[in-house]
Structure 1
Amino acid sequence: MHADADIPTEIQRTLTEFLDVQEQRLAELGPELAEQVQAARDATSGGKRLRPSFCYWGFRAAGGDPERPILTAAASLEMLHVSALVHDDVMDSSDTRRGAPAAHKRFEALQRARSEASGSGGDPVSFGIGAAILLGDLCLIWADEMLHTSGFDAAALARASKFFDAVRVEVTAGQYLDLVAQASGTSDLDLALRVLRYKAATYTVERPLHIGAALGGADQHLIDALSAYGLPLGEAFQLRDDLLGVFGDPAVTGKPAGDDLREGKRTVLVAHAVDHASPAQLAEFERLFGRAELDDDEIQLLREILQDSRSVQACEDLISERTAEAMEALDRSPVQDETSRKALADLAIAATSRHL
């Protein structure tokens, strides 16, 4: 792969080719499995491809040869991401993902159509949830397979596997922390920041950089430097994502406006509001927050409380601070390749400057 190649396009091609092989393998088990493969194809189409991009440029920053099989290894992180999204949507009871029905809703509709056609059949809702859980599991297995059959030698894979194992543990642990935060019914800034770090920051930026750099033969000095850049950048990315989850345009985010407010996401944005809203604002916020049936006017009222409590501005300030910290760390880093250095700087802007 040449340095000026379109990474998102190349990642899509790699995923498509991998799923072509999986479709042939699963066809031997039964034609019903085509539904799982097609759902995986749709779930791996589109998206920002940030994790594969950070992996690729971590590899290049370590001096990795772009002609090596880095694309398949990088694409494994997109497959891991899809696994996490499918499971996340089940846990959050989200109806949509990237502007299309979430996987469990997709499978629910398939089963409902079959039941209506035959006049019998199991509960479509239960089927949809079960089928989506299995799809997430399949994608997790496939992520591991993509990395370990990517074509790198055993030594390189052993170096990378340490970080690949870490990111899978961290994102799962972060997901559990998120569940605990939502179930608590209260907002705690420390817990919100831990969820931010382990569910998003390490998973989106730091570990993909580490995996790529390890495949490229990086020493510990470079690994540490990539952490100094990747962790604050990952936190800034998720803070921006949290703002988009409340204020974003559904045409851009692919989810209904204010969905995070209906789901009761205990983010840093919400924790700040709980700490800084007036008593009257807090009472109104707690009355509405987390109600699935919120209408547009109620969503707007919650947004106004987030604005008036200066919680939105506090998150914007944190995004600016974390991004500046990341850029300063990149400036100090031992990355010698100017193409890689510029690509990492551009990725920092792409990850944090998405508009509300």
Structure 2
Amino acid sequence: MNLAPADRADLRFRVERALNSFLSRQRARLVGIDPALRPVADAIEDFVLNGGKRLRPAFAYWGYRGAGGEDSDEVVAALAALEFVQASALIHDDVMDGSDTRRGRPSVHRRFTDAHLADGWAGDPQGYGTAAAILLGDICLAWSDELLHGSGLKPVTLARARPDFDEMRTEVSAGQYLDVLAQVTGDTSVERAGTIARYKSAKYTVERPLLFGAALADAPAPVRAAFSRYGLPLGEAFQLRDDILGVYGDPTRTGKPAGDDLREGKRTYLVAVAFEAAGPAGRRTLRAGLGNPDLDGAGVTQLRQIIEETGALERTERRIDELTAEALIALDGVYLDGEALKMLHELAEAATRRLD
């Protein structure tokens, strides 16, 4: 079924409609196994449907359209599968970081911990919450496959896109591990921070969704190459903006406590540059504060000041601008559908100038 071109708002509505329809079917499956699984269905629905910018399906959709693909509800359903990859990564990320909130609500592991406490069950409430969240993240990853292959697209079309889908899921897991590793080894190098940003976020936020959509449209090699030259720097810029928000973001907009990345000990580009430029005293203070879960407001303010005084914040902002410009230049000289080109420019702005 061919449809009129979709703008970002309409596309988001259609992605959420596909997610709603799929989750309704999955709820029936879970409750049919045992009514005790109803809280699992509730938690996944709340997490997937409430919040999220739908950036990954948007990049995939406009990559598909830019490569000449024709709009259909089947394509939108296939691209909505990316939201389950995202949900899995975030649920597991919150467990690894010990984050109590996500999007202004209790994180999944906290939600199940609180349920354990409220009902007075036996055993360790935190252990139960962690176990439940790991399993829910696993379910979301499995459901990404189910939604993709149940989208209604032809098998030959899905087969073209499968390598990019598989690479994306491997890359984000590898990036997550490197992030955890850097926190325990204390690696504060700019090189390590760049690798983590590239694989934990940049590739699976922009580049791989674009290539996934392009593969569905059977894009020629020059278009795929242009999407990689656009997607990788833009994805890194997206992550750098996320790093800044993790330290300086407004909790009412980010849905997470102020300075949470500092308490979690994230070795981001922003932090790595601060370590590189700080003097001995500044480095000692950074090392003492980073990864301290009890870091209070005064401690967060002190670390913020060091980051600003070293020029790390300014340098990170400048790097975002450089990467975004590099991404947009990559779209020059390659033929793309006109509306798709316009939307890719708009998405670049949305990804790098956001406040949450």
Name the TM tier (shorter chain). Answer: over 0.9
| TM-score (normalizing by structure 1) | 0.96
Instruction: Provide Cα deviations, 1:50-94, integer angstroms capped at 9, x if missing partner.
Output: 001001111101111112511111110011100000000000000
Please name the residue that 1:124 is paired with: 125
Q: Does 1:353 align with 2:353?
A: yes
Worse-matched range after superposition: 5-14 or 307-316: 5-14
Please name the residue that 1:14 is paired with: 18
Instruction: Provide Cα deviations, 1:233-292, integer angstroms capped at 9, x if missing partner.
Output: 000000000000000001111100000000000001111111101222122222222111
| TM-score (normalizing by structure 2) | 0.96
Whether contact under 8 Å (1:225, 1:334) holds in the other structure is no
Tell me the distance in 2 between the aligned counterparts of 1:315 and 1:102. Answer: 28
**One-letter amino acid of the counterpart of residue 344, structure 1:** L
**One-letter amino acid of the counterpart of residue 347, structure 1:** L
Tell me the distance in 1 between the aligned counterparts of 2:65 and 2:30. Answer: 35
Whether contact under 8 Å (1:70, 1:150) holds in the other structure is yes
Segments ≥4 residues shifted beyond 3 Å: none
Residue 355 of structure 1 and its aligned partner are, at CA, apart by 3.8
Instruction: Provide Cα deviations, 1:287-306, integer angstroms capped at 9, x if missing partner.
Output: 22211111111100100000
**One-letter amino acid of the counterpart of residue 124, structure 2:** D
Alignment of 1:328-347 (within 5 A): 328-335=329-336, 337-347=337-347
Please name the residue that 1:214 is paired with: 215
Alignment of 1:110-259 (within 5 A): 110-115=115-120, 120-259=121-260
Identify unmatched segments of 5+ residues in structure 2: none
Matched residues, percent identical? 50
Whether contact under 8 Å (1:285, 1:302) holds in the other structure is yes
DSSP 3-state at the match of 1:331: coil
DSSP 3-state at the match of 2:33: coil
DSSP 3-state at the match of 2:179: helix
DSSP 3-state at the match of 2:330: helix
Q: Kindly report the root-mean-square deviation, in angstroms, between the aligned alpha carbons of the 2 structures.
A: 1.1
Please name the residue that 1:102 is paired with: 107
Tell me the distance in 1 between the aligned counterparts of 2:239 and 2:270. Answer: 11
Please name the residue that 2:295 is paired with: 294
Tell me the distance in 2 between the aligned counterparts of 1:277 and 1:333. Answer: 43
Alignment of 1:269-348 (within 5 A): 269-335=270-336, 337-348=337-348
Please name the residue that 1:4 is paired with: 6
Alignment of 1:71-110 (within 5 A): 71-110=76-115
Q: Does 1:38 align with 2:39?
A: no
Identify unmatched segments of 5+ residues in structure 1: none
